[in-house]
């Protein structure tokens, strides 16, 4: 008997789509044909770590002829060059405008494949099959695609919504522990933003989440997807409220970039960024809960995330933060916590950014 699949709808009018949360790939073929009737073949884009682990199982479940594009794994390969090679391979596969690009992998594969799908033939249908916790709770939903540039992270890209997202929890069984834990950094971000059930789950189940307990993980993924779907439906292109999803990312991205992409995992950097932003928010009177930074640090430890920032040059951090694409003139708009479940977008100038980075644990 097929196991239960839970569905969350991203309500974007005629571009609405389902995010399916399932135990495995059983049912994905049917879901794809429902979302994209008339599909005759697919192009599966994956990376060289995920391909030998999960590509056969996915293709068997899709029950559609397809071809594979295998990218080199890792954040250091999220480049314009890899995107260009991915587009070459998709075009050489003889696709037509109805051939979906199916991204099987983590956020790196999803971002590159999504950008390739957005640009090849001016837009091919796109399906996300996230295989990391980070991709399940965050990057596979919302349609942000793109690659890094020497000037900064994700500086080249496009909005291109998927037509279907299918998160198969069994794929997490092969994920390295350090990667899974990094994904919990984005779960923590979402818990801080939403409060409520997810924050309570984090308080009560952090050790189980750290240990990879399937039920706790499923519960957390479901709540994160619901929260993200809700924000994206309100503000698809980040004209306003979607910017709250950047919580932890101003200081986090700066650390990630200053250390060199890949040295500290994205989700782990975000968690450190949350602490810096909470401390800054307390000091500047934005946050009404003075105990919040320490509470976050306790959770970071309980989740098994690194609670200290690696040694990094202060001027490299500063350089990275002003390159941030959220910068408008000399100001960067930073989501600061007011309390658990409450956030305020604050424009911070150069001096304030220096103070913020100084608060990294
Ligand atoms: N588009 C968005 O909205 C958005 C949101 C958040 C993050 N991101 C991006 O996501 C990226 C980070 O994603 P990530 O953390 O998933 O990293 P990743 O894609 O690099 O995956 C991490 C590693 O795990 C391997 N892997 C993936 N799935 C596996 C599995 N099931 N079993 C074994 N190994 C597996 C990958 O090959 C890779 O080596 C960053 O580039 C970040 O900018 C994008
Ligand atoms: Zn992120």
pTM of the model: 0.95
Whether residue 1 lies inside any domain: the answer is no
The answer, yes or no, to whether residue 261 has pLDDT greater than 80, is no
The answer, yes or no, to whether residue 152 has pLDDT greater than 80, is no
| Strand runs labelled E in 84-202 | 101-105, 126-130, 144-149, 152-159, 164-168
Domain CATH for 347: 1.20.1090.10
Q: For 221-249, what is the mean pLDDT? A: 94
Confidence category of residue 263, pLDDT binned at 50, 70, 90: confident
Q: Domain residues for 256?
A: 177-358
The answer, yes or no, to whether residue 15 has pLDDT greater than 90, is yes
The answer, yes or no, to whether residue 44 has pLDDT greater than 50, is yes
| pLDDT of 33 | 96
Confidence category of residue 257, pLDDT binned at 50, 70, 90: confident
Q: For 45-72, what is the mean pLDDT? A: 97
> Is there a single domain that holds both residue 149 and residue 290?
no
> Is there a single domain that holds both residue 73 and residue 207?
no
> Is there a single domain that holds both residue 47 and residue 85?
yes
The answer, yes or no, to whether residue 75 has pLDDT greater than 60, is yes
- Cα–Cα distances (Å) from 323 to 151, 155, 274, 326, 335, in that order, read 7, 9, 19, 8, 17
Number of domains within the chain: 2
Q: For 188-201, what is the mean pLDDT? A: 98
The answer, yes or no, to whether residue 1 has pLDDT greater than 50, is no
Does the beta carbon of 236 sit less than 6 angstroms from any atom of ligand 1? Answer: no
> Is there a single domain that holds both residue 154 and residue 58?
yes
> Is there a single domain that holds both residue 351 and residue 287?
yes
- Cα–Cα distances (Å) from 69 to 102, 104, 119, 221, 361, in that order, read 10, 10, 16, 27, 40
Does the beta carbon of 114 sit less than 6 angstroms from any atom of ligand 1? Answer: no
The answer, yes or no, to whether residue 8 has pLDDT greater than 80, is yes
Whether residue 199 lies inside any domain: the answer is yes
> Is there a single domain that holds both residue 36 and residue 93?
yes
The answer, yes or no, to whether residue 2 has pLDDT greater than 90, is no
Confidence category of residue 299, pLDDT binned at 50, 70, 90: very high
Whether residue 206 lies inside any domain: the answer is yes
For residues 8 and 18, the answer to whether their CB atoms sit within 8 Å is yes
> Angle of helix 266-283 relative to helix 292-302, nearest 10 degrees?
160
Does the beta carbon of 131 sit less than 6 angstroms from any atom of ligand 1? Answer: yes
Candidates 82, 108, 145, 320: which one to mutate for ligand 1, based on the most atoms within 8 Å of Cβ? 108
> Is there a single domain that holds both residue 164 and residue 147?
yes
> Is there a single domain that holds both residue 222 and residue 348?
yes
Candidates 107, 138, 141, 221: which one to mutate for ligand 1, based on the most atoms within 8 Å of Cβ? 107
| pLDDT of 223 | 98
List residues with catalytic annotation. Answer: 122, 144, 186, 228, 238, 242, 246, 249, 253, 266
> Is there a single domain that holds both residue 164 and residue 283?
no
Mean pLDDT across the chain, nearest whole number?
Answer: 94
| pLDDT of 151 | 79
């Amino acid at each position: 008997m097929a196991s239960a699949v839970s569905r969350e709808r991203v309500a974007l009018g005629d571009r609405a789509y389902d995010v399916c949360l399932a135990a495995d790939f059983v049912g994905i073929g049917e879901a794809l044909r429902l979302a994209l009737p008339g599909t005759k073949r697919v192009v599966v884009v994956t990376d060289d770590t995920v391909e030998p682990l999960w590509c056969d199982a996915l293709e068997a479940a899709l029950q559609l002829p397809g071809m594979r594009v295998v990218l080199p794994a890792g954040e250091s390969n999220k480049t314009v060059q890899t995107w260009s090679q991915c587009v070459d391979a998709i075009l050489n596969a003889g696709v037509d405008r109805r051939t979906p690009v199916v991204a099987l992998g983590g956020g790196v594969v999803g971002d590159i494949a999504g950008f390739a799908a957005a640009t090849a033939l001016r837009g091919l249908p796109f399906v996300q099959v996230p295989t990391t916790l980070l991709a399940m709770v965050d990057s596979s939903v919302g349609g942000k695609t793109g690659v890094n540039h020497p000037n900064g992270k994700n500086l080249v890209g496009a909005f291109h919504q998927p037509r279907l997202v299918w998160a198969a929890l069994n794929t997490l069984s092969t994920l390295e522990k350090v990667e899974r834990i990094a994904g919990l950094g984005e779960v923590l971000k979402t818990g801080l933003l939403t409060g409520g059930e997810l924050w309570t789950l984090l308080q009560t189940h952090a050790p189980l989440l750290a240990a990879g307990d399937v039920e706790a993980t499923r519960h957390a993924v479901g709540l994160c997807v619901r929260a993200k779907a809700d924000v994206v439906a309100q503000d698809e292109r980040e004209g306003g409220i979607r910017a709250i999803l950047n919580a932890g990312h101003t200081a986090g991205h700066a650390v990630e970039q200053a250390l060199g992409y890949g040295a500290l995992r994205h989700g782990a950097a975000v968690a450190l960024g949350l602490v810096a932003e909470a401390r800054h928010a307390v000091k500047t009177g934005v946050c009404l809960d003075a105990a919040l930074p320490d509470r976050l640090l306790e959770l970071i430890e309980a989740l098994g995330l690194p609670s200290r920032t690696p040694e990094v040059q202060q001027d490299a951090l500063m350089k990275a933060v002003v390159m941030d694409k959220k910068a408008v003139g000399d100001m960067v708009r930073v989501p600061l916590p007011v309390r658990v479940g409450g956030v305020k977008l604050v424009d911070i100038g150069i001096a304030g950014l220096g103070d913020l980075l100084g608060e990294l644990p």
